[in-house]
Amino acid sequence: MLSSNMIDIYEMDDQLKSFAKMMEPVGLHPNLVKHIYAHDRLGQILHSKFVIEPMYNPAFNGRINALYEQKLSTYRVAVKNNNWHQRIWLCERPYRVEELRKITRHGTGIKKDPAEWNKLLSELVVSVWTDTEDPAAQSKAWSQIFSHLNFKGIPHVTDNLVWMRKNVFGKVAPVRVYRGYNEGGMANGWSWTTDGDKALWFAKRYNKPNAKVVRAWMPADKILGYILARGEKEVVARPRSARIYDQISAVAFERMTKLQRRNF
């Protein structure tokens, strides 16, 4: 009978052989060849839906191919079983928004139950939205995603759901919103908040120059969603939807008292 130490050695040997096999000189998977791009500083980059290699090296083709085939196989099963969360998160980050757009556009049989569809779709939208650093880079996809959301039947039970404008603000006067941005950003973008202090945090993030806090009125019918995830009290609207009427430097806003900030 083999001791546990001997079994560990054999298992380690199998792992080494598997690793060595992946490192053998092989060609890149045919589906990935068209996703090789030249980069001024990094040389070649492999940028695909399931695999991203910032500094692509053909010596690692075996490992890259194995990863791609594993993710592709799992993805196909996820699509077949309507496992939408897994389907999205198998994709590399830059491709998740497009995958979400496909789901919101086509849906599946679950769409026959509006309440269940809305709940699941809301969870998907929030999870991908909060993982997105720059929605402006995929504005068209996000516009389509929010246009396919059904505003009816969204249960208000947990912070990770989208609380839609009809259910939160109703047909009321424009909502006061704030936005923090800095150098390289834009004053009238996708993401706003009803909390001025949170806007200040975004303005100061990364310690970039020209940090500013914007105050604006957002027409209620322009609000696509109100997201409570992460405690940001985030108001989502297409760029240039808000009516900006003031903006000051983050430094000046930070010096204000709480009362002054509320009246800003």
Helix axes 96-106, 139-147, angle to 10 degrees: 30
Q: What is the pLDDT of residue 256?
A: 93
List residues bridging with 80 in a β-sheet. Answer: none
Helices (H), 43-107: 61-80, 84-89, 96-106
- Helix H or strand E segment including 237: strand 234-237
Whole-angstrom distance, CA of residue 56 vs CA of residue 131: 25
Q: What is the CATH number of domain 164-263?
A: 3.20.170
Of 195, 209, 211, 172, which is closest to residue 261 (Cα–Cα)? 195
Q: What is the pLDDT of residue 63?
A: 95
Q: What is the pLDDT of residue 110?
A: 59
Q: What is the pLDDT of residue 153?
A: 45
Burial of 63 (0-12, 13-18, 19+ CB in 10 A): middle
Whole-angstrom distance, CA of residue 211 vs CA of residue 206: 10
Q: What is the pLDDT of residue 42?
A: 82
Whether the CB-CB separation of 180 and 199 falls below 8 Å is answered with: yes
Whole-angstrom distance, CA of residue 151 vs CA of residue 221: 12
Residue type, position 215, single letter: R
Whole-angstrom distance, CA of residue 262 vs CA of residue 123: 31
Q: Which two tokens stand for residue 39?
A: 């980069």
Q: What is the pLDDT of residue 24?
A: 66
Pairing of strands 162-163, 212-218: unpaired
- Return the SS3 of 159: coil
Whole-angstrom distance, CA of residue 264 vs CA of residue 262: 6
Q: What is the pLDDT of residue 169?
A: 59
pTM of the model: 0.81
| Count of C-beta atoms within a 10 Å radius of residue 257 | 8
What Rg, from alpha-carbon coordinates, does the chain have? 24
**First-to-last CA distance in the chain?**
78
Query: What are the per-10-residue average pLDDT scores of the chain (264 residues)?
Result: 53 59 79 95 94 95 96 96 93 96 75 70 88 91 82 46 55 84 93 95 94 94 83 90 93 91 80
Whole-angstrom distance, CA of residue 247 vs CA of residue 139: 24
Q: Which long-range contacts (CB under 8 A, 24 or more apart) does 70-79 make?
A: 72/31, 75/50
- Domain layout of the chain by residue ranges: 164-263
Q: What is the pLDDT of residue 5?
A: 54
